[in-house]
Structure 1
Amino acid sequence: MPNNTISSLLKKANQVLSERHLDLNAAEILLETRLEYTRSELWTHYFDELSDEAEEQFQKDFKRYLNGEPVQYILNSASFYGLEFYVDQSVLIPRPETEELVQLAEQVVQKEKVEKVLDICTGSGAIAIALKNRFPSLSVTASDISKEALFIAKKKQ
């Protein structure tokens, strides 16, 4: 079997991840995202050979992950409240726990008939955009002291 199949790359990667006690899903996430495959497509093509470019990109991504960089920063993408957000080192990665804050805000918006929301220190814009997505007529203002963060938040609009 060739050394540059999805199967062989994932087996090698999983061995390293296991030895280092790292997330075993990381290699699959990196590979499927770069190949633009769903998880099931990745497994359907499990024994396919990768192009040299795809293998090289995976090796670069995997090395970054092994050096401690989060998958979200490597891929410049984070899921939050059913939406995808661009992220880089200029902003914090939206956390699943923060989705609870959005749920609480939704309850307040509905119960109190809130018309305006101010998101201070918006970062990636995840909270502001999730609320605006849920309540299109809601007036949402997002602010941040970081120009880089505001640039990133505007990418999602």
Structure 2
Amino acid sequence: MAEKDNSFVKFMNNLYYAVDAPVTYIREKFIVPNQKKYPWYHQQYRRVPTIDECYTDDIVCYTEANCQFMRDKSVEDEILFILRSRYEHCVFYHGDDRHLCDDLMKAYFDASAAWFAKYGDMGIALNVKNAYMKQKHRMIWERRHGPVGSGMRSQPTEA
């Protein structure tokens, strides 16, 4: 050792290893092998078939798809809440130097635009079937007229 091995240093090392050895042994032999292998701290649900994979008369499949849709919506709501909070905290912290928060503002606006494209204007009839129909109608519109928000073409293209 680089330092002098006097009796105090030896005593402290022995005391450290007397306390540390059982703790390390229990952690390596019992705790780590029995830990769950996924790094998630919230409940993970298995993915069920989406509404476009369900038969029209399969109520169970429709209900599972609707529950998964609602869970996904609540997760996306929380993501928007976190992004908005980060942006607001950044603006509050930096004050007049709001240009430092532009990347957070862009991430929030992009996420909110995607959220609105999926869930917006659905009102009280928010379920997986109506969201699927909204997506279908949006795709038909974009095929005929171009991306939403770019204005209508003068002549619709043949699909």
More strand by share: 1
More helix by share: 2
TM-score bracket, normalised by the shorter chain, equals under 0.3
The normalised TM-score by structure 1 is 0.25
The normalised TM-score by structure 2 is 0.25
Q: Which structure's relative contact order is higher, taking Cα pairs within 8 Å and 6+ residues apart?
A: 1
